[in-house]
Amino acid sequence: MERSNKMEFKVNKTLKYDATFLKSNFSLPEVNRIASSISKSSTVTGDYEVAWALKAVTLVDLTTLAGDDTASNVSRLCVRACLPFEPQLLEKVVEPSLLKDIHCAAVCVYPARVADAHKTLKQYGKLKDISIAAVATGFPTGQYGLKTRLEEISYAVDAGATEIDIVINRQLALVGDWKGVYDEVVLMRQACGTRAHLKTILAVGELGSMENVYKASMVCMLAGADFIKTSTGKEAVNATLPVGLVMIWAIQEFKRLTGQIVGLKPAGGIRNVRDAIAWMTLVKSTLGMHWLQPELFRFGASGLLDDIEKVVREGVARLKQA
């Protein structure tokens, strides 16, 4: 049964296609050097690690994209997103007034499971706090007809999705048809309208070069993306810090040229707090600390919360022994 979802959001505008935005000038060895330097500087321990771990919770799109997803396991996912920790566990490390803010940013599911997520989040009174993201447009390959891909977006939004994670047409990208990629994403932006934010998955592991990553980022932002996302999590190569740095440079240049702000979502392979802190350090050192909020930065992850929970519980136990 379709659900009417009349909520409207501030969404990015589609801008005119301009091939000059695709010009890039960066050195791959320099990209790798900078990313490596940031990674080495991101090590934290003790109470600082706990603080960063709790920050990471609020940036997670808790994800289940399995063939055996059912209403019950999606419901469990949503409950965990709402209540990742029992409140009494955090009483010594979090201000009481902030405890209500310790939850995931979103749950991410297939379109067919959106209604299940909507039902559970409504029961817990979290529809305004936790977004429902749906992967669409023939995830993860995008190898479907355009009409079918657009209909999938409409189906997910009508079911209650407030964010749509689309996959770009890598076939067009690989042959250099960037206007073709732009035209498709524009239609996807239109399908989302003002009822859902658009997150565009580049599938960086299948784009062939960093130059293509930069161009794909720019094309999606021109088309009206609210976020650019690294990967589906299904490719052989997913989120890496060098790729993230190139996407950040595209975000910075796009903001300089247009004034429009676009978020970043690394996904795939981010499994522990150490990985998450490296990404947060990258964002903090390039885009600024203010970017580390759910409106501008997300982790696409299914297993990250397990390690966050371990780090936080161990940290709280140390505090109790002190």
Known catalytic residues? 229, 265
- Of residues 316, 245, 250, the one with CA closest to residue 278: 245
Would the CA dihedral through 142, 148, 150, 153 be positive or negative? negative
Give the C-alpha separation, 297 to 31, whole Å: 21
What is the Cα 263 distance to its own chain's centre? Answer: 8
CB count in 10 Å sphere of residue 265: 28
How far is residue 21's CA from residue 23's CA, in Å, rounded to a whole number?
6
Q: Answer positive or negative: Cα dihedral of 118, 119, 121, 126.
A: positive
The CA-based dihedral angle spanning residues 261, 268, 167, 117, taken in that order and rounded to the nearest 10 degrees: -90
